[in-house]
Amino acid sequence: MSAALRRMTDALGEWRERWRTRWCHSLARHWWRVWLAELAGMLPAAVARRLSRRESVQRLAWPLPEAFDRTRPAVLVLDADQVMRQRLMLPREATRHLARVLRYELDRYLPYAPDEVHFVARVVERSAAGAEVELVALAKDRLEAMLAQCRARGVRLCALDATNRDGERLGLDLLPPGTRAGRGHSARLERWLWAGVMALALGLVGVHLHQCHAALEAMRATVDAQRDEVSRVQRLRRSLADTAGASRYLAERKASRPMLSGLLAELTACLGDDSWLERLEVEDIDRVSVSGQSARAGGLVQRLEGCSSLTRVRFQGVIQTDDATGQERFSIGARLVASETADPSTGGGRGDASPD
């Protein structure tokens, strides 16, 4: 369990140091400091001086000088001959877990066992042949002595760096995890600024998602309204088609039956002068019923069959003699013949006719 926890702690420390090194040498950090400097330039001069005194980091050499500001965080910078520094060529795959790989190979490059030295490493350059790695190490007993003296003298160490042979800082941090002192107001301000930036970013994402959701809901509402409108138009179109079909059917049926006046004229010609009608009824468009009196009712069926508008002529009941007139009373039914030349805009409905 302890071995697994130690491996996890080492991996987290390696990840933190790798990203811290990238951040320290990135353009983002440079522009961040430029932006902070611009913000500080907008403050009143007295406030800017006070913040600069509280936030500035002092550089101390080893051994520690006699006089320094205990209220400000410090970076302890070691000379090139106070650390062990080497350039190594490793395979590119080894840079994924650089600290873990070097921990097993330290005895090849340093005169110390892996548990007797504290080291940091960074990739300087990558090429097709491999990766050039800079290894900087310091004996743990000497490092602990430095840290103990710094704590005894009240030095708030925020980083432990070293210089090269030309006196330039390497930009590394040899402080073990957990020994770095906070930078007071500057660190808190930087954390709060980062927290503010993250909150604003999350707020922007939330606002964007809300706007997208609102736009999606508006689009759905528009689509639903258009769908309802299309359904209404389709219903109107079907109703119009049904109405047009019914109108066309009625017009065709109306056109297929002869005019009532024409039917009366034809019946008058076919019945002759010795017959007259008391009732003329047209039912279901093509069913015709006539009743009346005639001197010779038995021959009326033959006469009406000669009418071009009638077919299937037959008696409806028996022929009876009227006592008052002495004529024969008849009732005849027939079917109208569909007219091909009739005007669809004209026609008759159901009607009764009686002689004057």
Q: Show me where the domains of the chain are located.
A: 1-47, 55-182, 186-229, 260-336
Tell which wins on pLDDT, 101 or 236: 236
Write out pLDDT tens, residues 221-257. 999 999 999 999 999 999 999 888 888 877 776 666 5
CATH class of 260-336: alpha beta
Torsion region of 118: left, alpha or beta (phi above 0 gives left; psi -120 to 50 gives alpha): beta
Are 311 and 298 within 8 A, CB to CB? no
Per-residue pLDDT band for 200 (boundaries 50, 70, 90) equals very high
CATH no. for 55-182: 3.30.420.380
Phi/psi at 334 (nearest 5 deg)?
-155, 175
Is there a contact between 126 and 139 (Cβ–Cβ < 8 Å)? no
Rg (CA), the chain: 57
Give Cβ neighbours of residue 280 (< 8 Å, ≥ 6 apart).
Answer: 263, 264, 267, 288, 289, 290, 351, 352, 353, 354
Percent of the chain scored above 90 by pLDDT? 19
Q: Which of 263, 279, 286 is nearest to 352 (CA)?
A: 279
| The pLDDT value given to residue 50 | 65
What is the arithmetic mean of pLDDT over 148-153?
A: 90
pTM: 0.44
Task: Check residue 345 and give its pLDDT.
Answer: 41
How does the average pLDDT of the chain come out, rounded?
Answer: 79
Domains 55-182 and 260-336 share a fold: no
5-19, 63-77, 161-175: the lowest-pLDDT one: 5-19
For residue 339, pLDDT over 80 is answered with no
Q: Which pLDDT value is given to residue 347?
A: 41
Mean pLDDT along residues 288-297 = 81
